[in-house]
Amino acid sequence: MGNTYRSDDAVGLIAARRIEEKGLPGVKVLRESGEGAILMDLWKDADAVIIFDTFQAGAEPGSIHRFEAGAQPMPEDYFHYSTHLFGVAEAVELARVLGQLPPRLIVYGINAKELAPGSNLSPEVEKAVPEVVERAVREINAFRTAKRPH
């Protein structure tokens, strides 16, 4: 999720592109710049979903927060600081109520520093991209290993 024209809000799109560039077999990467409401359609029929999004919750810029959104409600403070009108947290919780969550749903929130118009990430958020991508790749590989028949 993100917006390429709102500085740090692009971090989710950039992380998704880096995952896509790795060419992981069986991994479908989608980059969405709209509102969170579209997510429920996008994750329909998926076994596992990883979402990258920007938020501001008083943490250090560039800090990475991981939520097992499929297993527990999204933290309340995530609702108030999303950069979308109907954000990821709202989409997750609506899907939970409707029984439409994917079996495995991980949300990585990267704390933003700058959300003003612009096309560059702040240095703090840029520095977080390789780490969040590596963490997501480890999750993808672990999920694929667990899914293999023994």
Phi, psi of 33 (to 5 degrees): -110, 5
Listing from the earlier edge strand, what are the strands of the sheet with 104-111?
A: 48-55, 104-111, 64-68
- Cα separation, 141 vs 134, in Å, equals 11
- Cα separation, 50 vs 107, in Å, equals 6
- Cα separation, 53 vs 55, in Å, equals 7
Structure tokens at 32: 């969405």
| Predicted model pTM | 0.89
What pLDDT sits at residue 83?
A: 55
What pLDDT sits at residue 89?
A: 83
Phi, psi of 88 (to 5 degrees): -60, -45
Domains contained in the chain, CATH given = 7-147 (3.40.50.1450)
What pLDDT sits at residue 121?
A: 95
Q: How far is CA 113 from the centre of its chain?
A: 17
60: Cβ contacts below 8 Å, ≥ 6 apart: 111, 124
What pLDDT sits at residue 66?
A: 94
What pLDDT sits at residue 120?
A: 92
Q: What is the mean pLDDT of each run of 10 residues along the chain (150 residues)?
A: 85 96 93 79 91 86 93 73 69 91 93 88 97 97 80
